[in-house]
């Protein structure tokens, strides 16, 4: 797999730029926040925080702009705005993260009933609001991770191996957040986060492979984050934290395996 890693100049430009933007912005912010020079909610904090989060989106356009020989900007924008797909794909993009969240809780509670007391859901009327918030706060990353790396690497190594390769790199991109006071990842379990990234990378990679729509990936990514904000996740600290990541990984692998030989080559069929 690694022999194909540098094959795409567009993907390499993307990775260099997105890590540069995000790690500089979040690295500076972490240093300032740990010294209590700024804190979450103040404008200096939020400017650097949002800038770092937009690293993949900005880097995606820079990479496309600097590699016109691979495909023009118009082709990339068509994938960003590809909305003419069957309604079932919208249902899957928005509904699969919700279903997996409840399934993980159900499995965890069945195995450890005491965990049920730690589960608390927010009112469902907040979901559309959280979805809109997480489109910016996470979903727009898909311009780069699926729109560039998944798309480019799948040509060389197939979509399944591309998704598996993206997962640890994507997790590493998030690393500065674990040193940033005020955010959810601060002092979190990076190994558990990494495990979760494999599952979501597979789900998003499968969705992109089947639809070639960056827009749908934005929606699924946002829905995955919104579900967590709603409280639909297995609480950590009670020995069942791997339930969600393992379930996502299993379902993602099954979805890819259901594609048969297409999992090893780009599925160009439009639906």
Residue extents of the structural domains in the chain: 79-260
Compute the distance between CA of residue 217 and CA of residue 21 in angstroms, rounded to an integer. 22
Q: Is the confidence at residue 224, as pLDDT, over 50? A: yes
- Measured from the Cβ of residue 267, the count of other Cβ atoms closer than 10 Å reads 18
CB 181 within 8 A of CB 26: no
Lowest-pLDDT range, 191-200, 245-254, 259-268? 259-268
Average pLDDT, the chain: 93
The conformation of residue 268, written as its DSSP 8-state character, comes to -
Compute the distance between CA of residue 188 and CA of residue 98 in angstroms, rounded to an integer. 23
Predicted local confidence at residue 94, as pLDDT? 98
Query: How confident is residue 260, by pLDDT bands cut at 50, 70 and 90?
Result: confident
Tens digit of each residue's pLDDT (9 = 90 or more) over 26-48: 999 999 999 999 999 999 999 99
Q: Is the confidence at residue 3, as pLDDT, over 60? A: no
Q: Is the confidence at residue 269, as pLDDT, over 80? A: no
CB 105 within 8 A of CB 240: no
H or E element, residue 153? helix 151-157
Predicted local confidence at residue 236, as pLDDT? 84
Predicted local confidence at residue 265, as pLDDT? 66
- Measured from the Cβ of residue 1, the count of other Cβ atoms closer than 10 Å reads 12
Q: Which two structure tokens, joined as six digits, stand for 192?
A: 């558990």
Compute the distance between CA of residue 180 and CA of residue 189 in angstroms, rounded to an integer. 14
Q: Is the confidence at residue 228, as pLDDT, over 80? A: yes
Compute the distance between CA of residue 11 and CA of residue 5 in angstroms, rounded to an integer. 9
Compute the distance between CA of residue 140 and CA of residue 137 in angstroms, rounded to an integer. 7
Tens digit of each residue's pLDDT (9 = 90 or more) over 8-18: 999 999 999 99
- Over residues 83-99, the mean pLDDT reads 97
């Amino acid at each position: 797999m690694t022999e194909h890693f540098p094959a795409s100049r567009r993907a390499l430009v993307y990775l260099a730029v997105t890590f540069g933007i995000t790690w500089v912005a979040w690295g500076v912010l972490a240093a300032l926040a740990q010294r209590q020079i700024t804190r979450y909610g103040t404008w200096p904090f939020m400017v650097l925080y949002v800038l770092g989060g937009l690293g993949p989106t900005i880097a995606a356009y820079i990479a496309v702009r600097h590699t016109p020989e691979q495909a023009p900007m118009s082709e990339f924008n068509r994938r960003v705005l590809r909305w003419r797909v069957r309604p079932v794909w919208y249902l899957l993009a928005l509904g699969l993260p919700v279903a997996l969240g409840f399934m993980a809780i159900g499995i965890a509670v069945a195995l450890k009933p005491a965990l049920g007391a730690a589960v608390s859901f927010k009112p469902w009327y907040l979901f559309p609001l959280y979805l809109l918030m997480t489109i910016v706060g996470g979903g727009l990353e898909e311009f780069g991770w699926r729109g560039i790396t998944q798309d480019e690497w799948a040509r060389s190594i197939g979509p399944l191996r591309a998704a598996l390769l993206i997962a640890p790199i994507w997790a590493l991109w998030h690393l500065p957040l674990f040193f940033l006071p005020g955010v959810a990842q601060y002092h979190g379990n990076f190994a558990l986060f990494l495990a979760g990234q494999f599952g979501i990378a597979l789900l998003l990679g499968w969705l992109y492979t089947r639809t070639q729509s960056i827009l749908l990936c934005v929606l699924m990514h946002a829905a995955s984050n919104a579900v967590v904000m709603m409280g639909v996740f297995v609480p950590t600290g009670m020995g069942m934290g791997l339930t969600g990541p393992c379930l996502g990984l299993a379902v993602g692998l099954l979805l890819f395996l259901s594609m048969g030989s297409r999992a090893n080559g780009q599925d160009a069929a439009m639906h």
